[in-house]
Structure formats: structure tokens, C-alpha cells
Amino acid sequence: MTTTTTSSSPLALTPRPARDSFWTRIAAELAESIARGVYPPGERLPSEHALAEQFGVNRHTIRRSLASLSSQGLLRVTQGSGTYVEEFAVELVLAKRTRHHQSMALAGVRGGLRVLGSGTVRATAAQARALQVPVRSVLLRLQVLGEAEQQPLHVGERFFPLPRFAQFEAVVRETGSITAAFAAHGVADYTRHESRITAQMPEPEVAAQLRQPAARPVLLVESVNVDTEAQPIEFARTWFAGDRVTLTVTHDE
């Protein structure tokens, strides 16, 4: 029979700190510094090397602390640029007449739209139903990124019936405005027919475009715009960064 003895030396009785305690403590201290304004919204944090020297730990520990704060929405890690304190949320209004530039102006920030990609597709059943066109009709597809103060707020895919909007992409690329592109195609005014909002986890591509962790939910808005004759002219699926955007739905004219 083997007897196990426990050493009574001071070394054996001294509790060893859990390895996780280092990165959690550092994350808590950084979060407190952000709350006190030491690192204001939009500011870049010191490098991992500088933080490692400041806290007396290795870069792996710092990286884990930053990843934790990023998953909480306090930080944004930009590949090749650094780690930044997240900006405050921008309030966007989904109204009968929703315009990106007007929404940015109302929120008090500068922003615009940027075309990420384009092409033609055959209408699916859902797209055809929304646009009131036959299934497999040719549609223009634009992938568009909405930004405010150089931060991505939303990314989406927008579908327009062809050949009515054949030159749409060129106008959006030049002006950064969907409204201007509609005007160039004879649509002087248009309104939002419906908006459907759901929360979901983003696909990796969407998360990367929004510069957020894939584990952070986004708001998906599916919408249909119509012209003054009540003819559908746009079907859109837009993913909003849930931690940077507050969506307000209004029924005003």
C-alpha cells in the first residue's frame, strides 16, 4: 500500500495563480481605461509588444486579452493597421423614404456607399416575387458597403431589374448614391414598401467586411423599394453591424 504525503513547505502552500488570470486581469484593466476615456473611441491602442512590456507578460497573453475585448464589442482589430477602440453606435432611420446620405447627416456623421462587386444573376423565386418579375429574369446585383467616419456600418446585396437599370452600377460608383443612380434612370422619387428585420450570426465574409468577430450577431434587413407607380425597383438584403448601429423604424411620410 502506497502512502501519499503532502509537503508542508511554504512553497507547496503558496497558491499558484491560474494562467487565465493574467489575460482576464489585463482585459479588465484595459476595459476600465476605455471607460475612463484613457483610450477614447476610434483611438488606436499601443502595439501588442508595447502592451506586453507594460504589463510584464508575453504577446500571446496580450493577444488573448485583446481578443476577449474585441468579442465584447469594445475593440476592433484591423489587419495590418492595429487595434482600435470601437466607435459609438450610429442611429439609422428606416423610414418610408430611406436615404443613406440623409441618415448619415441626421446621425451627425460623414458617410457614403462603396461598390464592392457587381454582376448579373438570374432571379430566384424570392427575388422574383419581391420585384414582381418572372423567375430567372436577369437582375443586376450590386454588393455595397455603407461606411461612416471610415467605419463599416453595413454591407449588402442589392438587386435591380434589367434592362431598366442597365447603367446603374456606373452611377453608384461615381456618386456613391443609390438615389442619384435612380434619378439618372428616370426615377425621381421612390419609397420603402417593406422592411423585415431579423438577428442572425454572420457568414465569415460578412463578418470580415464589417470588421467584426464572426461570433457577434448582426441585424439583417430585407427590403423592397418601389417607384411612384408602386412598381418594385429594388430588392435588398443588408447586414448591419449590431454593435455600431441602432435601427429606428418610423412610419412618417
pLDDT at position 106, please? 62
Whole-number mean pLDDT of the chain?
85
Clarify whether residues 181 and 216 are in a common domain. Answer: yes
- Amino acid code (one letter) for 220: L
Clarify whether residues 107 and 168 are in a common domain. Answer: yes
Domain CATH number, residue 228: 3.40.1410.10
Q: Determine the Cα–Cα distance for residues 53 and 85; give it in Å rounded to an integer.
A: 20
- Amino acid code (one letter) for 203: E
Q: Which of 85, 112, 142 is a domain's end point?
A: 85
Clarify whether residues 217 and 132 are in a common domain. Answer: yes
Clarify whether residues 140 and 221 are in a common domain. Answer: yes
pLDDT at position 2, please? 40
Clarify whether residues 40 and 98 are in a common domain. Answer: no
Residue 169 placed within a domain: yes
Give the global pTM. 0.68
Instruction: Return phi, psi of residue 138, to 5°.
Output: -80, 130
Clarify whether residues 103 and 220 are in a common domain. Answer: yes
Residue with cell 503558496: 14
Clarify whether residues 103 and 66 are in a common domain. Answer: no
Domain CATH number, residue 77: 1.10.10.10
Residue 36 has a CB neighbour count (10 Å cut-off) of: 8
Q: Which of 85, 114, 133 is a domain's end point?
A: 85
Residue pair 243/216 in contact (Cβ under 8 Å)? The answer is: yes
Residue stretches of the chain with pLDDT short of 50: 1-19
Question: What letter would DSSP give residue 247?
Answer: E
Residue range(s) defining the domain that contains residue 120: 90-249
Clarify whether residues 60 and 102 are in a common domain. Answer: no
Clarify whether residues 79 and 115 are in a common domain. Answer: no
Clarify whether residues 191 and 205 are in a common domain. Answer: yes
Each residue's pLDDT tens digit, 81-139:
889 887 666 778 788 887 777 777 666 667 789 999 999 999 999 999 999 999 999 99
Residue 4 placed within a domain: no
Residue 160 has a CB neighbour count (10 Å cut-off) of: 24
Question: What letter would DSSP give residue 79?
Answer: T
Q: Which of 85, 116, 144 is a domain's end point?
A: 85
Residue 17 placed within a domain: yes
Clarify whether residues 97 and 62 are in a common domain. Answer: no
**How many domains does the chain divide into?**
2
- Amino acid code (one letter) for 95: A
Name the 3-class secondary structure at 101.
Answer: helix
pLDDT at position 142, please? 98
Helices (H), 42-146: 48-55, 59-71, 100-107, 125-131
Extended beta strands in 105-183, E state: 111-122, 138-148, 151-161
Clarify whether residues 112 and 141 are in a common domain. Answer: yes
Residue 1 placed within a domain: no
pLDDT at position 1, please? 42
